[in-house]
Structure 1
Amino acid sequence: MEPTPAPAPPSRPASARVRWFKRLIILATLAAVAGVVASFPIGRHYAVEGYTAAKRFAIYRLTGLGPDRSEIEADWARRRALGVARTTEVLTKFYDGAGEPMKRLFDVAGMDPTHGLVRYGRGDQSFLLSSQVFERDDAGRSYRFRPDLRSVWLRQVTLHNGPFGLFLVPDTPAHREAAAAAGAIVDEVSATTTNSWGLRGPEPDPTAPLRGVILGDSFMQGMFNPDDQTPPVHLARRLAELEGTPVSVANTGHIGYSPEQYYYSLLEYGPRMNPHFVVVSVCPNDFGSEFDILAGRPDWMDEAAYWIDRIYGWCRAKGATFLLVPVPSYPQVESRRKDGFYPGLVNNIFPGPPPGYLDPLERFLDENLRLKLEAQKAGEGYARCKLYNRQIDDDHFSPKGAEVWADAVARRLSLLMATTSGGPARTAPAASR
């Protein structure tokens, strides 16, 4: 008897064949994308970083542990190196394809691929600076002002597919001529003068009866404001009025700085100044990209908290009054406050006592209403808040905004110092240069 033949295997349904075909297409596509990505240095970097991050996440998920400080700093260093490399590539490509007037501006300003200073700030963001105005710093600050220099801001520098550049350039006839030829505008009132310490503002006086250090970014630098209209200059004036004694401050504000750079600025200038007070000015992009924190999406909150805590620890060790002051942002005055996110989240990470934290938002809202009322009485329009340089589409304090900020800070500092014992004596110590 013939053996019964084995039944034929059931045919795979058409739907199953379609699913397998789709999976094959997806895998092939992913492989092709991976090949393209890996063909570029930056793509390979992202691939390696993605794999490393996934591996670390899996380890931390299994062990319940977190990264130590050395690992965190190594990760920041890798991300910053990538940002600098990427910006340098963009700069080179843009410069090679630029017209002669734009090339001339970059050459004269020390911002061409050979001489331009590409550095990081604000976490891992990188940008192009003039090497004639700024110099490299490898001691924690990334970059710093050159001392004893007068510079001026250029506006409306149009860079199609170009690098993110900060056009603060030396104030000379050659720079002005190159700027005009490239279609840029010289912002006359923004002339910026650095002192022998490499800081904007009057020469700090370590022998003054009352001394302070101001830590911050472009808000404290006083972007687009004259030398005598920056927030720290107004603060020194107002505090001198309240205290009845001369006040000297070291304004360490640099555009693009973040809490990490604030800390290293304090390490450099704190011992020289021996301050009675230290003001830490923070703004939304200290905690994430642009205004993300206003939407409750801060990226760098833990990192910022780490450095703010270190600054606070330095002040406690030296007996200096500490004051953390979040900058009121213009959307909170003109549009919606959302202060539960910012500065509310900043308040949550502050390690010190309640008076050591000051939110000037209410003062700004009151002053904005007062200015609006004045405009209405005069029959004038008032579309944008005059406490910011909104007339040139800039987000920083106007001279009036700097004055309001300074008055609020001076009043709090005066009360804090009057109720706090210890700290540097209000005498003239020997100068420490």
Structure 2
Amino acid sequence: MARFFSMRRPARADQRVLGGVERSRRLQRRFKLGIVVATLIVVAGILAAVPRGRHLVASVADRARQSARWAVGLPVPREEVDARHERDRRQAVDDAARKFRDAFPTMDEPIQRLFRYAGSDPDAGLLRWGNFDQTLLLPSTVFEPDDAGRSYCLKPNTRSIWVRNVSPKGSPLTFLIVPDRPELAEVLQGTGGIIVTTSVQTTNSWGLRGPEPDPSAPLRGIVLGDSYMQGMFIDDDHTPPECLRRYLENHEKTGVSILNTGCLGYSPEQYYYSLLKFADRFKPQFVVMSVFANDFGGILEVARGKGDWDEGRYWLGEIQQVCRSRGLLLLVVPAPLDSQMNSARFAGYYPGLISNILNGSSEAYLDPTEEFINRNIAMILEGDRAGNRPTGSPLYNNAIGDGHFSPAGAEVWAEAVGRRLVLLLDKARGARRPSP
């Protein structure tokens, strides 16, 4: 009985579809499919005909390949990652340039005058990638392109000074460190811009901030980093690397030369190419790499544990490999946030995750936060006793609304780093001595 009820009954003659009708339906389905395919081809052709469309098509194809590899557990080849970054950065620069060119004529005439003086107008401004994945507008009077990995760098033998309080609507993320010339005060009239008189910066013949390098010095080091190491809004004598040079000279009782390769907006990828550029030319004994939260994504994102930590891990690993292959001491030092001085620290993700992604010994990693907090408390107490309690942390440029190290903060950084370096150098010397 079960077999009887499971058998299909033949269709009645009046329910059967005539052969001609069925062929007609098949033709209609094929015609509709052809229209869809032709439409997709036309749309793809239109998209591929314009830069933004080509970028979109390439991005979709790239994401599809990436998803397919993830689905079967295969890693994405490094060359594809680099190609994607290059494509995204180039498109972001093109978009920023177009918007900036449209917005510039609408800016007030004094702002336009200042931007032309700085070399930051649409015709002369340097639009390059930095800060991990952002597009920066840099003055071409102070910076120059670098297509060998760093994206941009400081011009050699250049004197400049910072101007703050200028951020016109419609411009990309803008940094106004401009030529320090007598006419600057007149150029600033009507802009609202303020000269930071303590921020005069000069570069040496190598295109780096600091004194002329001495490859023959008994002790030599390279400092990798971003605006914290370049020394934002502070003078040449108070950058963290220059404070470190003085500390080591006092404790090692010998001549010390340090290359300050720090440059605003740099991230681990640019640190790596900076090290490649100067390591063999300068032949240092040690490398100090300063990292900051926005090396791995947006500052707030990184503070919540987000960001591209895999990308950061890759470049930190490349830097470690360069140092190992040349027998160089490497010390990684995260820069503390100014918000971690007087409020909740929230250090589990930053700088906590930095130590997690480093493949090295504990002694090659230094978190100077405790040194900063101790000095911060001491300076606040000193201010209280003098009846002049500081607003915010005196270790940062809070007086001008900036979160970079003040000269006092640079000194604390140099002392913490210097103490560790002295120990590491002594240990390295001991390892080279023959045992009795």
Of 143, 153, 157, 1:134 maps to: 143
Tell me if 1:284 matches 2:293: yes
Residue 182 of structure 1: how far off its partner (Å): 2.1
Which residue matches 2:261? 252
Of 317, 322, 325, 2:333 maps to: 325
Q: Residues 263-412 of structure 1: matches in 2 within 5 Å? A: 263-298=272-307, 300-412=308-420
Tell me if 1:63 matches 2:83: no
Report the more deviating stretch, 302-311 or 174-183: 174-183
Q: Matched residues in 2 for 1:359 and 1:393: separation?
A: 24
Contact 2:323 2:330 in 1 (8 A): yes
Of 177, 186, 193, 1:184 maps to: 193
Residue 160 of structure 1: how far off its partner (Å): 1.6
Residue 243 of structure 1: how far off its partner (Å): 1.0
With over 3 angstroms needed to count, the CA separation of the structure-2 counterparts of 1:53 and 1:337, relative to structure 1, is farther
Of 174, 177, 185, 1:165 maps to: 174
**SS, match of residue 380 in structure 2:** helix
Of 153, 157, 160, 1:151 maps to: 160
Of 213, 217, 221, 1:212 maps to: 221
Which residue matches 2:29? none
Amino acid at match of 2:353: L
Residue 224 of structure 1: how far off its partner (Å): 0.3
Residue 369 of structure 1: how far off its partner (Å): 0.9
**SS, match of residue 346 in structure 1:** helix
**SS, match of residue 173 in structure 2:** coil
Q: Matched residues in 2 for 1:227 and 1:40: separation?
A: 50
Q: Matched residues in 1 for 2:291 and 2:217: separation?
A: 26
Which residue matches 2:31? none
Contact 1:42 1:86 in 2 (8 A): no
Contact 1:206 1:274 in 2 (8 A): yes
Which residue matches 1:73? 82
Residue 161 of structure 1: how far off its partner (Å): 2.6
Q: Residues 13-92 of structure 1: matches in 2 within 5 Å? A: 44=53, 47-48=56-57, 51-92=60-101
Q: Matched residues in 2 for 1:114 and 1:72: separation?
A: 31
With over 3 angstroms needed to count, the CA separation of the structure-2 counterparts of 1:50 and 1:143, relative to structure 1, is closer
Per-residue CA shift, 1:85-128, capped at 9, x if unaligned?
Answer: 12212220121212221221122211111111111112221111
Unaligned runs of 5+ in 1: 7-30, 426-433
Q: Matched residues in 1 for 2:67 and 2:318: separation?
A: 30
Contact 1:319 1:423 in 2 (8 A): no
Contact 1:276 1:423 in 2 (8 A): no
Contact 1:214 1:250 in 2 (8 A): yes
Q: Matched residues in 1 for 2:113 and 2:432: separation?
A: 51
* Higher RCO structure, 1 or 2 (CA under 8 Å, sep 6+): 1
Residue 388 of structure 1: how far off its partner (Å): 0.3
Q: Residues 216-227 of structure 1: matches in 2 within 5 Å? A: 216-227=225-236
Contact 2:391 2:398 in 1 (8 A): no
Amino acid at match of 2:335: V
Residue 245 of structure 1: how far off its partner (Å): 1.0
Q: Matched residues in 2 for 1:172 and 1:52: separation?
A: 51
Amino acid at match of 2:96: T
> What TM-score, normalized to structure 2?
0.85
**SS, match of residue 314 in structure 2:** helix
Tell me if 1:107 matches 2:116: yes
Residue 48 of structure 1: how far off its partner (Å): 2.7
Which residue matches 2:425? 417
Report the more deviating stretch, 205-214 or 374-383: 374-383
Residue 50 of structure 1: how far off its partner (Å): 5.3
Q: Matched residues in 2 for 1:165 and 1:95: separation?
A: 13
Which residue matches 2:30? none
**SS, match of residue 220 in structure 2:** strand
Unaligned runs of 5+ in 2: 1-13, 16-39
Q: How many residue pairs were aligned?
A: 394
Report the more deviating stretch, 177-186 or 367-376: 177-186
With over 3 angstroms needed to count, the CA separation of the structure-2 counterparts of 1:240 and 1:353, relative to structure 1, is same
Residue 42 of structure 1: how far off its partner (Å): 7.2
With over 3 angstroms needed to count, the CA separation of the structure-2 counterparts of 1:267 and 1:424, relative to structure 1, is farther
Contact 1:275 1:424 in 2 (8 A): no
Q: Matched residues in 1 for 2:431 and 2:137: separation?
A: 40
Which residue matches 2:26? none
Of 233, 237, 240, 2:246 maps to: 237
With over 3 angstroms needed to count, the CA separation of the structure-2 counterparts of 1:385 and 1:45, relative to structure 1, is farther
Instruction: Give the CA RMSD over aligned residues.
Output: 2.5
Contact 2:331 2:365 in 1 (8 A): yes
> What TM-score, normalized to structure 1?
0.86
Amino acid at match of 2:214: D
Q: Matched residues in 1 for 2:371 and 2:289: separation?
A: 18
**SS, match of residue 358 in structure 1:** coil
Structure 1 stretches of 4+ moved >3 Å: 37-47, 421-425
Q: Matched residues in 2 for 1:297 and 1:247: separation?
A: 39
Residue 413 of structure 1: how far off its partner (Å): 0.4
Overall identity of the aligned pairs, in %? 45
Per-residue CA shift, 1:384-422, capped at 9, x if unaligned?
Answer: 000000111101000000000000000000001111249
Per-residue CA shift, 1:303-362, capped at 9, x if unaligned?
Answer: 111111111111111111110000011111122211110111110011111100000000
Find the structure with the greater CA-based Rg: 2
Per-residue CA shift, 1:43-77, capped at 9, x if unaligned?
Answer: 63664355235412431233211211100000110
Which residue matches 1:15? none
